[in-house]
Chains A and B, each alone.
Chain A
Amino acid sequence: MEFTNETIDINQLPKFEEVHFSPLNKNYIKVVYINIAIVLLIIAIGIGVLIYFNEDFQNTQTYLVFGISYAVFALILYFSSVMAVKRRAFALRDKDILYKRGLLSTTTTIMPFNRIQHVAMHEGAFSRIYKLAQIQIFTAGGNTSDVKISGIEKEKAESIKELLMQKIQNHI
């Protein structure tokens, strides 16, 4: 049996922080816009109903309070969502998949192929309009380490899924 046991130079190992990440599809932001719009609409209807059925609220002061907090909330939601989407990115390497996200933080999760248990692909109603899909990757690490990557072109998502499945098969 041939046996080698060379010393490993930690600094020579491939660096995950220097990998080139690919961002989500540009159209995905439109899906996010739609989602934001729906959330805002539901809240607006809720407030409207609240004011309509509650005569105590029918004065200028309450309108002002509701109006301003609604606008502030809408702006925060809009900017944080857009920023968050822009900061999401993923990368595939020979032996693992990386997913980077986070608004205040930069969070990178790395899943080696030989630890992936299962891969799922989801297509949301709005994502389908732009031919986008979501990939969900499961490891035995539980929900904290399961990764969902939204906003990938459907064909690309399918090929990634194929690739991952193939890699999993090879390991069993």
Chain B
Amino acid sequence: MRLDFTTPQRQSVTGIIVMFADTFQSIVRQFWVLLLVILFKLKEDQYLVVGLGFLGLVLLTLVIGYLKYRNFTFYLDEEKQEFVLRKGVISKSRISIQLSKIQQVDINQSIIQKIIGVYSLDIDTAGTDKKEISIRAIDQRLALLLKEKLLDYGNKDEEALDDNQEVIKESKTFLKISYNTLFKVGITSNYGRTIALLVTFVITLYQSFKDAINAFEIDEKEVDTVFERGAGFFSAGILIFGLLVLVLLINIVRIFIKHFDFVMIKQKQSLVITSGLFAKKNTLLNPDKVQITSYSQNYFQKKFRILDMNMKQASSDEVKEQKKKSNAIEVPGCNTEERDEILRIILGKIPQKGNQYRSNFRYLIFRTFSAVAFLTVILTLLHYAEIGNMDLYIPLVFVYLCLISSLIYFGYRNHALYVNQDFIIKRHGAWDVEHEIIEPHKIQAITAKQYFWHKSADVGHLILHTAAGDVDFRFGDYTHIKQLVNYWLYQVETSEKNWM
């Protein structure tokens, strides 16, 4: 295959198989109910008909896969600085993307693609539907080259691009995460998320267990006594210990699957990140397109000297609504020097904390009030539902109050905004203390808000809207907030810098 992207070209020939698999998968996904019904209602004399039908379906899918492959072409229009993609069998579409709008280019590999030895290349832009722009079968060398080309639109220096070797030589690995570090990350991070997952899992399990009991008409009383006896045997301590071990195990496994072989390479001005155990993920990160950079650390991570970093990029609305963090690139378990190195690449320099702004004590009142209100609602509900003896809940209420009050206290202590000429840094979090760093010229809009009962106390809220989500600072001194808003507006409106 030529290495010239200016003429329309097709995917790898093996792409037919990927196309076939994709089409087949989508057909099965759409008609699985029908297929199941057919399978179950099958009588012996109908085997032949159904078998032939299935064969026909496979053949048809193959033809569709082939046509999809035939009609799928892409090329780079260098004059217009566009990447053009044509596809479709019956309804044809032509998608062109301005190279400057490209946010990110991902090279991924699913299991089918791994077997055939091809990769998929997905182009992410701000605004358009993400799935539209995906090349499903492309060999690795070509993928890397195309990625280079797509992200290198500004650079007219083409020499380096003709020779793939040179591109690779130029880049240097500067961050590699060892198994040891991944293990440390696994045992120290994401407790909240894992516990929530576990709780949902246990609840669904319990539900389906009950359903099963109902279905098999087992005497419920008997089961209940079994439950009670079980609860007697397992003391609460062992249960909690078991839960903790489970949480840690799940965490470690998850971290290993996601971040296995994490390597970060500096390539010209960008960062290339590869990681993943089953599906290798290759992401290119352009520093200009990062909107919010953040790093977080909890008590244990501090002891282990590791940090979690997140780079949030601009995302389209649909993506934002579905999952908040989908467009964030995570660097687990780097140390302080590595963090500073990454910050220097992304932000140009290591951000210093400027003037500190703290929240008013009303923050504490508000949080306490909501926590107590939540407790009251739950208790009232339990009371009316008449689940068990209310006395049983007293130790739980005590634990909740201890936990929530320390969370509120530490949350308040860590809640602060640091502002200087170049950076806005927001520190927050009770357990995982996160620093979110924004450059003023990446602000899209600002909202200032004050409730009328806060007027006399001169307290108000601030929300900074960026293309990667909002950052808010609540219960601040409103005079200061107004001053800051005016200052940032001045910065945004006079800045010549592009926000992406």
Residues of A within 8 A of B (CB): 8, 10-11, 13-17, 95-96, 102, 104-115, 139-145, 147
Q: Which of these, B466, B486, B500, contacts A15 with CB under 8 Å?
A: B486
Contact A109 B447, beta carbon cutoff 8 Å: yes
In the bound complex, residues from chain B placing their C-beta under 8 Å from that of A112 are 445, 489, 492-493
Given contacts A110-B485, A145-B447, A145-B470, 15 further A-B contacts (CB under 8 A): A16-B489, A17-B482, A95-B489, A96-B489, A96-B493, A106-B452, A107-B450, A110-B445, A112-B489, A114-B493, A139-B444, A140-B499, A141-B466, A145-B463, A145-B465
Assess A140 versus B126: contact at CB under 8 Å? Given A8-B490, A112-B492: yes
Contact B126 A105 (CB under 8 A): no
Name the residue on B nearest A115 (C-beta): B444
> With A144-B463, A144-B470 as given contacts, are A109 and B317 in contact (CB-CB < 8 Å)?
no
Choose one: B448, B452, B492, B499; the contact of A108 (CB below 8 Å). B448
A106 to B455, CA, bound (A): 10
Q: B451 and A105: CB pair below 8 A?
A: yes
Q: Report how far A112 CA is from B447 CA in the complex, Å.
A: 12
Contacts of A115 in B (CB 8 A): 443-445, 492, 499
Residues from chain B with a CB closer than 8 A to the CB of A11 are 483
Closest to A139 in B: B444
Query: Is the C-beta of B64 less than 8 angstroms from some C-beta in chain A?
Result: no
Q: Can you offer 17 A-B residue contacts whose CB atoms are under 8 A?
A: A8-B487, A10-B486, A10-B487, A13-B487, A15-B482, A16-B448, A95-B489, A107-B448, A108-B448, A111-B444, A115-B443, A115-B445, A140-B126, A140-B500, A142-B320, A145-B463, A147-B445
When distances are taken between beta carbons in the complex, the residues of chain A under 8 Å from B482 are 15-17
Q: Knowing A96-B489, A140-B126, A145-B465 are in contact, say whether A108-B447 is a contact too (CB < 8 A).
A: yes
Q: Are B446 and A110 in contact (CB under 8 A)?
A: yes
Please, what's the 1-or-0 string for B434-458, where 1 marks a CB less than 8 Å from any CB in chain A?
A: 0000000001111111111000000
Contact A104 B452 (CB under 8 A): yes
**Contact in complex: B485, A106 (CB < 8 Å):** no
Contact of A16 among B317, B449, B485 (CB under 8 A): B485
Closest Cβ of chain B to A98, distance in Å, is: 10
The reply to whether A13 and B486 form a contact with Cβ atoms under 8 Å apart is: yes
Contact, CB under 8 Å: A106 / B449: yes
**CB neighbours of B490 from chain A (8 A):** 8, 13-14
Closest to A104 in B: B451
Bound-state Cα–Cα, A145 to B486, Å: 17
Contact of A107 with B492 in the complex, beta carbons under 8 Å: no
CA distance A109 to B447 in the complex (A): 4
With A14-B486, A15-B482: A144-B465 Cβ-Cβ less than 8 Å: yes
* Closest Cβ neighbor of A113 among chain B residues: B493
B469 at the interface (CB under 8 A from A): yes
Q: Give every chain B residue within 8 A of A105 (Cβ-Cβ).
A: 449-452
Cα of A106 to Cα of B446 in the assembled complex, Å: 14
Q: Contact residue range for chain B?
A: 20 to 34
B291 and chain A: residue at smallest CB distance: A140
With a cutoff of 8 Å between Cβ atoms, the chain A residues found around residue B320 in the complex are 142
Known: A104-B452, A105-B452, A114-B493. A141 touches B445 (CB 8 A): yes
Within residues 471 to 500 of chain B, which ones have a CB less than 8 A from any CB in chain A?
Answer: 482-483, 485-487, 489-490, 492-493, 499-500
Within the complex, the shortest CB–CB distance from B129 to chain A, in Å, comes to 16
Are B445 and A107 neighbours in the complex by a CB distance under 8 Å?
no
- Taking CB atoms, residues of chain B closer than 8 Å to A107 are 447-450
**A17, closest chain B residue (CB):** B482
B334: CB under 8 A from chain A?
A: no
Complex CA–CA separation, A15 to B447 (angstroms):
14
Select the residue from A10, A145, A147 with max chain B CB neighbours within 10 A. A145
B307 in the interface, Cβ–Cβ < 8 Å? no
B314 within 8 A of A: yes
B467: interface (CB < 8 Å) = yes
Which residue in chain A gives the minimum CB-CB distance to B321? A143
> Looking at the complex, which one of A15, A114, A144 makes contact with B492 (CB distance below 8 Å)?
A114
Contact partner of A145 among B126, B445, B449, B451, CB < 8 A? B445
Partner of B465, one of A16, A106, A113, A139: A139
| B residues 185-227 touching A (CB-CB < 8 Å) | none
List, in ascending order, chain B residues with CB within 8 A of A95's CB. Answer: 489, 493
Contact pick for A102, options B449, B470, B483, CB 8 Å: B449
B319 CB → nearest A CB, Å: 10
Q: How far is the CB of A135 from chain B (nearest CB, A)?
A: 15
C-alpha spacing A145/B465, complex, angstroms: 6
State in angstroms the CA–CA spacing of A8 and B440 once bound together. 16
The complex places the Cα of A11 from the Cα of B486 at a distance, in Å, of: 9
Residue of B nearest to A8 (CB): B490
Closest to B479 in A: A17
Is A140 in contact with B314, judged by CB distance below 8 angstroms? yes
**Quick one: closest B residue to A111, CB to CB?**
B445
Residue among A95, A107, A141 facing the most chain B CB atoms (10 A cut-off): A141
Chain A residues in 8 Å Cβ range of B466: 141
- Measured in the bound complex, the distance between the Cα atoms of B487 and A104 in whole Å is 27
A113 → chain B, closest Cβ, in Å? 8
CB distance from A29 to the nearest CB of B (A): 22
| Pair A140/B451 contact, Cβ less than 8 Å | no
Question: Closest A-chain residue to B496, C-beta based?
Answer: A114
Contact of B445 among A14, A15, A109 (CB under 8 A): A109
Kindly list chain B residues whose C-beta atoms are within 8 Å of the C-beta of A106. Answer: 449-450, 452
Smallest Cβ distance from B444 to chain A, in angstroms? 4
Q: Determine the chain A residues whose CB is within 8 A of the CB of B445 once the complex forms.
A: 109-112, 115, 139, 141, 145, 147
Q: Are B470 and A141 in contact (CB under 8 A)?
A: yes
Q: How far is the CA of A83 from the CA of B314 in the complex (A)?
A: 36
Nearest 4 A-B pairs (CB), nearest first? A141-B465, A145-B465, A141-B444, A140-B467
Which residues of chain A are near B470, meaning CB under 8 Å? 141-142, 144-145
> Which residue of chain B has the shortest Cβ distance to A143 in the bound complex?
B317
